[in-house]
Structure 1
Amino acid sequence: MAVKVIIEKVARPGLSAQQVREVAGAHPDVLAHLATVDTERLIVGDAVALGHDPGDDAEFRANVFDPVTNRGVELRGTLDRPEQALVLPTAYRPNPGQEELAAAAEILRADPRFPAGDDVIVYRPMPPLADVENPDGTTTRRPTLGVYTPSDESRKHRIVAVDVAGGTVDWSPAGVAAHHPGDCESHLPVGIDPLRDRGGPDQVRLRVVDGDTELWNAIVVRPRASSPQNPGDGSGVELRDVRYRGRIVFRQAHVPILNVQYEEDGVTYRDWQNEETRFSATGDDPVGWGWRLCTKPPRTILERADNDAGNFQGVAFHYADGELRIVSEIAAGWYRYASEWRLCDDGTVKPRFGFAGVRNPRTCMRHRHHVYWRFDFDIEGSANDVIEQFNDTGSTIPQPVPIVQEVSRKRKAPARYWQITDKASGRGYQIHPGEHDNTTDPYGVSDLWFLRHHPAELWDGNPGPNNQARLNRFLNGESLTGTNVVVWYAGHFRHDQNDPEPHQGHIVGPDLIPVP
């Protein structure tokens, strides 16, 4: 009997963006801090319930931002009493959304300095913002846009900053000018306009069934709704409540942090992972737009030739040879990433992340990508976990070393792999590093973090001027023996176009192998 892949709509606990807006508009502390009375211009998002098995009184956090005053606050409350939420000022600034980018592009194209020609492309560059400080201490929010002019041999790329509220364009914003007169990468960008979002659910329940046996049961969240957001910048394809043969494996698994570091000039970026972009997927959409069961392998930019096009945005599923691939392509500026999970019939989980890009003025410079997975293991339940590091001692059997309190680790000798098991049953998973995952440099901080679970530790907070991962702030010496454990796992990829080894479309990620 053939294996069946089934996806079904499922509700998500939390507050909708409209509910967050209504709470903010009625909260005097929000309006006082933002110094605004126009709540319709506020940038808000959904507020997902925090914690395991959230109920009606679950906690939530939500960011509310005014792009005109360039101020933001964070709401911290409970779903049953959102109007009583605590209001705290925050330095978090959300990236421009599609409406804000479209308004900026309209101003840009109306500028008399905008180049003529039908081949000019307006695209989303890095960094996403180029705010400017005013003499009175306030700041003006300015989304950035890239202007690609193929016919201009002397300067194909320009990066500009647009004051949407003021209707002006800065053609030479400080610190974000194009760094290369030609093209880096071969893929031609499609511009700032994605495929029209036709709706569809934010998440689905996935079931993989072999005859009368349910192999996998999980909630899959598409990138546009992945947590953390508001505050936070998404996490690609997110898995929740993952069960293999009826037993819980993960409560949550995703990639909350993604960084880029340039070696030559020290420029760094914190990439967002909630912008779905085009890729090729052939099949049916049983629950609506954004979810596709494929009849043949989907093709992201890693498999395509020289374009940034495609017929689909969202999450695609394809099963073959004992393995289900869950695939999406996401964009951050000129970067394109493949966010993927592979669920095998034997219980193995293969998280994968691929790196590519479209034409731009920077990626021909040597740089490193740092991707940070977060695995909230719930082996046999949400507590009673044990962590061990298996060292290579020269014998045929690696030597286990218990890890009893919160700590970070690097992938270097004698460590070979790590194991998380339930203290009573002995069941669990081993984490085996991928062949190309490499080890950290000083900017990447570390390779693994073993932490005690806390609902709010989904993101490292405002990363600061160099965007470096701040996961060490979660290390406070808490015990890990017989507790609820979270593991952060980092992969590091060096992209060098002058290196003879293939770089375009490189993929990293560990293998998570079940311990029966």
Structure 2
Amino acid sequence: MPVIRISRARRRAALGLTLAALAVGATTGAGPATARTAARAQAAAAAPAADCGAAYRIEQKLATGTTWRMCWGYEREAGLVLEHVSYQPPGEPKPIKVLATAKLAQIHVPYDDGGNEYSDLTRAGFGYGLLDLTPAECPGGTIRTVKLPEGGDPEHRQVKGLCTTTRSRGHAYHMQSDQNGRTYQAQGKDLLVYTVNKVGWYEYITEWRFQDDGTIHMNIGATGSLSPYDYDAGDGRGWPVGKGAKAYATSHSHNVFWRLNFDLDGSSKGRVEQYDSQVSAPARGQQGPTEKTTGTKVAKELAGDARNSRWWRIVSATGKNKDAHPRSYEIVPGATTKYLGRPFTKHDIYFTEYNRCEQFASDNLRNCGAGHGRSVDAWVNGQTLTHPVVWVNVGFHHIARDEDQQPMPVHWQGFSIAPRDVTAMNPLTPPALADQNGHVRDGS
């Protein structure tokens, strides 16, 4: 029996979503100008203005002195969207702009038996599935009301579904001085922004975590229930759950994409750099192997793959820290299981030239013109990167286990971006060590 993922109400919402999306470029072969006009009108209705009002503004000064600022909006397919994200650590006279927009770009769910394959953002009513949160789910924080886009359940339009709160994460640093034995330590604080969206039996926690040291974590947590319509008595592709070996839950993948549009120091014209390290055997007279790291400018669109000692960063076109080093953010991949069944999931990261029409990594609903392609792999076609957009793919192969019922524990997947030379020193440096930039002073 096919996997049933959405209720009748959710099916109606998904149908409304599909029809509305088709209306964006309803005429066959509608040109890019028509698509761009419709996309602009839709985006204007869904997202707050650059100087968003109080209802759409998030501003949090953490106990360690760092302030994060951003606007939030809510889209029909992507759900929560963050805009104009800035970071101001202690000692910086003004906010440092980091991201113009950040959002989910797809949750692609293919089943191992080939019977079902879903695009949970663009074809399964993800945005309409926002759930109300209770105070217990947002400890010490604020729950904001989200007005859902038209086209879904008219009785489910106002949802208390966005939580902003703070949380301790443990040590931000620990250092015992060799000179005077004094211990320097600080406990880190994070700002958390999250929603919960229900799609069929699954419930997705979309979490954005902003650390006081400038790091941003993007995570998706999948929970809810295993679909009871999955129990196919075993086809060699599942795992037995329940008593004996009669009920087999079909294994499947969750391929999650994020779309990041950087705005470092207020400029979209950052450059992309890739770094690779090579280890060589010890030369004569050396105690150990040598390792050399080489950076390469990524001048054109790229479909990239994570490898040992490989990483990427987005470098500011205009801003430098107090040491005169260009500011940048490094992309830090999370644990992933690559799904090789579709072209768009075969790579870990994509860098494409900005195109407003390109919003979803697969099953892109907007009509971008004849021959444009509907997935991110088709958009890597050799354009020069002047305004790079970053697409990150993190996969999880879900082979069910007895512990997955009932309810199913959250399984997380995600990645981070970490500041690299955004500030001249650790932004949480204590005053007693503030003069130790590039050297260690005796007696510290």
Distance 1:469 1:477 in 2: 17
Distance 1:399 1:501 in 2: 44
Which ranges of structure 1 fall in alignment gaps of 5 or more residues? 1-42, 46-61, 66-71, 77-84, 91-200, 292-311
* Alignment-derived partner of residue 238 in structure 1: 81
Distance 1:213 1:323 in 2: 11
Superposed displacement of residue 279, structure 1: 4.4
1:429 and 2:315 are equivalent in the alignment: no
* Alignment-derived partner of residue 392 in structure 2: 489
1:258 corresponds, among 107, 111, 119, to 107
* Alignment-derived partner of residue 151 in structure 2: none
User: CA contact under 8 A between 1:440 and 1:447: conserved in structure 2?
Assistant: no
Superposed displacement of residue 287, structure 1: 8.3
Secondary structure at the counterpart of residue 264 of structure 2: coil
2:23 corresponds, among 67, 73, 77, to 73
Change (3 A) 1:397 1:508: farther
* Alignment-derived partner of residue 209 in structure 1: 61
Distance 1:500 1:44 in 2: 36
2:296 corresponds, among 401, 404, 412, to 401
* Alignment-derived partner of residue 159 in structure 1: none
Paired amino acid for 1:338: I
User: CA contact under 8 A between 1:408 and 1:448: conserved in structure 2?
Assistant: yes
For residues 45-64 of structure 1, the C-alpha deviation after alignment (integer angstroms, 9 at most, x for no partner) is 8xxxxxxxxxxxxxxxx964
Q: How many corresponding residue pairs?
A: 298
1:369 corresponds, among 224, 231, 254, to 254
Superposed displacement of residue 442, structure 1: 3.3
Equivalent residue runs for 1:173-252 within 5 Å: 204-210=56-62, 215-221=67-73, 225-226=74-75, 229=76, 234-245=77-88, 246-252=95-101
1:511 corresponds, among 416, 425, 434, to 416
User: CA contact under 8 A between 1:410 and 1:440: conserved in structure 2?
Assistant: no
For residues 135-156 of structure 1, the C-alpha deviation after alignment (integer angstroms, 9 at most, x for no partner) is xxxxxxxxxxxxxxxxxxxxxx
Superposed displacement of residue 446, structure 1: 1.7
Superposed displacement of residue 369, structure 1: 0.4
1:277 corresponds, among 127, 131, 136, to 131
Change (3 A) 1:472 1:202: farther
Paired amino acid for 2:250: M
Equivalent residue runs for 1:327-366 within 5 Å: 327-360=194-227, 361-362=229-230, 364-366=249-251
For residues 366-404 of structure 1, the C-alpha deviation after alignment (integer angstroms, 9 at most, x for no partner) is 100000000001112233311112223235564322211
* Alignment-derived partner of residue 346 in structure 2: 445
For residues 101-136 of structure 1, the C-alpha deviation after alignment (integer angstroms, 9 at most, x for no partner) is xxxxxxxxxxxxxxxxxxxxxxxxxxxxxxxxxxxx
User: CA contact under 8 A between 1:242 and 1:251: conserved in structure 2?
Assistant: yes
CA-based RMSD of the aligned residues comes to 3.7
Secondary structure at the counterpart of residue 165 of structure 2: strand
Distance 1:87 1:242 in 2: 27
Superposed displacement of residue 488, structure 1: 0.1
Equivalent residue runs for 1:115-134 within 5 Å: none
Superposed displacement of residue 266, structure 1: 4.5
Distance 2:54 2:225 in 1: 27
Change (3 A) 1:269 1:210: closer
**Identity across the alignment (%):** 22
Secondary structure at the counterpart of residue 219 of structure 1: strand
Change (3 A) 1:265 1:203: farther
Change (3 A) 1:367 1:486: same
1:420 corresponds, among 311, 314, 321, to 314
Change (3 A) 1:208 1:396: farther
Secondary structure at the counterpart of residue 73 of structure 1: helix
1:458 and 2:359 are equivalent in the alignment: yes
Tell which has more relative contact order, 1 or 2 (C-alpha 8 A, sep 6+).
2
Paired amino acid for 1:442: G
What is the TM-score with the length of structure 2 in the denominator?
0.59
Higher helix content, 1 or 2: 2
Superposed displacement of residue 414, structure 1: 5.2
* Alignment-derived partner of residue 18 in structure 1: none
Superposed displacement of residue 249, structure 1: 0.5
Distance 2:264 2:299 in 1: 17
